[in-house]
Chains A and B, each alone.
Chain A
């Protein structure tokens, strides 16, 4: 079946602009994760959604970052007033029910470049 999809695959923006990154999880997966992969920081957890529970936002680096998940499916990660240090690959993952033993399936990522 279809895996996790993300769009756009690449995004170039100017410093100070807002960007929206989209993630379509695997159908039926109730857990959704966002990670950021950057040269200086490696792979970092950003935010986690599980069903109707309040999301775990503990990894968001600043209040310029926000995410929502509509209808328990598609998620959008929004970065406001982008900065050059936001340049990274943003990875989305989903799992069937969440939980540490569940395999997380990753999308191909969105490569963001802030000029």
Chain B
């Protein structure tokens, strides 16, 4: 079955530290891949997306993600975390090119300490 796994439910980092949030997907072909962020009381905001081409994708707010086909992974990274990055992060896939629904992971809650 198609699935998206975010193995880390909760991550805590210090401000200024680097960050990596993990995402693995299970699907026969490479799907379209997305990272969304949800701040408290807010809707989801797209950080970045990958369709094809360069496997390192740059997004907003200083985030980037790297697609690794061999590992079926699409991990999100940021070199230096800011306190305002505290939020919940969702990895999502669109499994088929003619299917528009998104399948989401369970999310990773990021806490940032000063």
Contacts A42-B107, A100-B96 given; does A109 touch B101 at CB 8 Å: no
Which residue of B90, B97, B98, B99 has the most chain A CB atoms within 10 A of its CB atom? B99
Secondary structure type dominating chain B contacts: loop
Q: How far is the CA of A44 from the CA of B112 in the complex (A)?
A: 27
List, in ascending order, chain A residues with CB within 8 A of B99's CB: 100
B97 x A103 contact (CB < 8 A)? no
Chain B 65-100 near chain A by CB (<8 Å), digits 1 or 0: 000000000000000000000000010101011111
For this complex, into which size category does the number of interface residues on chain B fall?
20 to 34
In whole angstroms, how far apart are the Cα atoms of A44 and B101 in the complex?
9
Q: A48-B100, A50-B100, A108-B41 are in contact. Are A103 and B105 (CB under 8 A)?
A: no
Q: Chain A interface residue count: which class? A: 20 to 34
Residues in B with CB closer than 8 Å to A105 are 43, 46
Task: Determine how close the nearest CB of chain A comes to the CB of B108; give it in whole angstroms.
Answer: 12
With a cutoff of 8 Å between Cβ atoms, the chain B residues found around residue A33 in the complex are 100-102
Pairwise interchain contact B43-A107, C-beta atoms closer than 8 A:
yes
Contact B44 A106 (CB under 8 A): yes
**Chain B residue with Cβ nearest A100:** B94
One digit per residue, 1 when the CB lies within 8 angstroms of any chain A CB and 0 when it does not, for chain B 44-61 equals 111001010000000000
B103 touching A45, Cβ below 8 Å: yes
